């Protein structure tokens, strides 16, 4: 089904070139369908790369999707022009009165910092607090998942001696859980991070369900017990070349 995005969003041409159907606002309002409204807080520096990755996946469903992008007003983006964000993204103040079916919060390359040292952390806390009511489901990816379990459940992140980097095999712990419908008993997921969550405290937290795990690396997918929050420590959204490009970046440093 089509996804509704900003009519002039630059990645729209690439999506249509891949056969992904997008529609404009003027056409969407003529559809006799209540679309699924999704808000994406894009914390990644290369905004358009992440836009493509997530919009490709959202387009695979059978329901019309209405997507808004959110950015942190308190953060000065070094890789994206402010004019781009003001044209195609919204601030929390602009969406505060809007109800969404889902919020997706991406990872961010700030895991080397303590949470309180991230310059937009106060604004991100405002987003997570706001999202408890006008957002029905929430999905957190990588660093955002680490911060969310810390924010909601006071579970700390842990610095690793060596970076987890590569594609790893994880085992399904709750095969009958609705979030895992269609999964095999094992699946492979890209990982690229210097930190993780406290696995022991995860197991001790009754409000969290460990849906998948690795014997040495710990959990990958966590769910809140009420099913409204999903935390993914890996990068199921990554493209074929993403890990390779990150490896070349790290190597050059």
Any idea which residues carry the catalytic annotation? 142, 235, 237
Whole-number Cα distances in Å, 229 to 75, 115, 119, 174, 226: 25, 20, 25, 16, 8
Helices (H), 134-214: 143-153, 199-204
Q: How far apart are CA 105 and CA 146, in angstroms?
A: 11
Q: Phi and psi dihedrals of 178, rounded to 5? A: -60, -30
Q: Which residues contact 170 (CB under 8 A, 6 or more apart)?
A: 186, 187, 188, 189, 212, 213, 214, 220, 221, 234
243: Cα within 13 Å, side-chain hemisphere: 16
Q: Which two tokens stand for residue 59?
A: 């387009």
Task: Please name which of 133, 79, 139 lies closest in space to residue 107, comparing C-alpha atoms.
Answer: 139
């Amino acid at each position: 089904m089509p996804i509704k995005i900003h009519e002039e969003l630059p990645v729209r041409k690439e999506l249509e070139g891949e056969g992904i159907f997008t529609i404009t606002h003027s056409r969407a309002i003529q559809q006799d369908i209540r679309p699924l409204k999704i808000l994406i807080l894009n914390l990644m520096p290369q905004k358009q790369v992440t836009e493509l990755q997530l919009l490709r996946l959202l387009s695979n469903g059978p329901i019309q999707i209405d997507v808004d992008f959110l950015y942190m007003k308190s953060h000065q983006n070094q890789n994206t022009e402010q004019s781009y964000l003001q044209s195609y993204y919204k601030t929390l103040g602009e969406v505060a009165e809007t109800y969404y079916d889902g919020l997706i919060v991406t990872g961010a390359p700030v895991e080397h910092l303590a949470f309180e040292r991230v310059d937009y952390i106060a604004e991100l806390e405002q987003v997570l607090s706001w999202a408890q009511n006008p957002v029905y489901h929430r999905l957190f990816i990588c660093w955002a998942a680490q911060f969310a379990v810390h924010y909601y459940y006071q579970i700390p992140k842990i610095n690793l001696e060596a970076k987890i980097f590569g594609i790893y095999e994880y085992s399904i712990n709750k095969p009958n859980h609705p979030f895992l419908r269609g999964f095999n008993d094992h699946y492979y997921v890209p990982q690229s991070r210097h930190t993780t969550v406290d696995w022991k405290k995860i197991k001790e937290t009754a409000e969290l369900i460990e849906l998948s795990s690795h014997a040495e690396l710990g959990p990958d997918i966590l769910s809140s017990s009420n099913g409204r929050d999903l935390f993914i420590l890996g990068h199921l959204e990554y493209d074929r070349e993403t890990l390779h490009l990150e490896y070349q970046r790290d190597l050059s440093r």
